[in-house]
Amino acid sequence: MLKLIGRNLSPYSRRVAVAMTLLDIPHSREYLSVTADPDRGLELNPVGRVPVLELEDGERLIESAAILDYLMELVGPAKSLIPPHGKSRRDCIQLMAIGSGVLDKAVNAVYEQRRRPAEKIHEPWRQHLLRQAAGGLAALDRRAASRPDAWLLNDQIGLADITAAVTVTFLRVMVPELVTDGLYPALYALTERAEALPAFQAHPLEKP
């Protein structure tokens, strides 16, 4: 059986977990925190991060986008959560890149604040990271606003929506200053619809 390694507080891991559940892909789970156990992280992934997907023969895949690419190939074009070609495929990949870019910036802003001694936190750098994350959130909100009551690409939830929703939910817990009330209404509405689905509810965030 496939094994997904990484806890749900990792939004990159959570987006893979939600996609696997949505697609009914049987898998087991190891809720690893690489902060708590960096040695295990390095044992599984040369760069010590989650998620990691372990295949049945022991091969390990790293990088959530690469893992999702593998899973979409596994389920085939009829069930895939990414359009097969053309503009809608490009749009999907670009929207996912915006979502994961927001996460990269926001996670770095969290590390700037939490991993450094207080006197070494460089607030201008943290603000720069937050501005970049906000730029991505605004772009996702514009896209969501252009398609009210629908998903970002078509009538079916897909990887772009999953990425956007796990991003907002992660930020609400870890960087609430980025997602204050009323700032991105269309994106929040999309997140609410996604988080109400059983595939999302099956993977709630752990406490930080």
> What is the pattern of x (binds ligand GSH, CB under 6 A) and - over residues 17-36?
-----------------x--
Of 8, 10, 108, 169, which one interacts with ligand GSH (CB under 6 A)?
Answer: 10
> Is 55 or 142 the residue whose CB approaches ligand GSH more closely?
55
User: Is residue 68 a contact residue for ligand GSH (CB under 6 A)?
Assistant: no
CB distance 123 to 144 below 8 Å: no
Sign (positive/negative) of CA torsion 175, 178, 183, 187? negative
How many residues in the chain?
208
Question: How far apart are CB 189 and ligand GSH at their closest, in Å?
Answer: 25
Q: Helices (DSSP H) in the chain: which residue ranges?
A: 11-22, 38-44, 64-75, 86-114, 123-145, 159-174, 185-195, 198-201
CB distance 170 to 14 below 8 Å: yes
Of 17, 19, 20, 50, which one interacts with ligand GSH (CB under 6 A)?
Answer: 50
Which 154-173 residues touch ligand GSH, going by CB under 6 A? Answer: none
**Which residues, at least 6 apart from 4, have a Cβ–Cβ distance to it below 8 Å?**
13, 16, 17, 20, 27, 28, 29, 30, 51, 52, 53, 54
Of 27, 40, 63, 69, which one interacts with ligand GSH (CB under 6 A)?
Answer: 63
> What is the pattern of x (binds ligand GSH, CB under 6 A) and - over residues 107-146?
x---------------------------------------
* Binding positions for ligand GSH, rule: CB under 6 A: 10, 12, 34, 48-51, 63-65, 100, 107
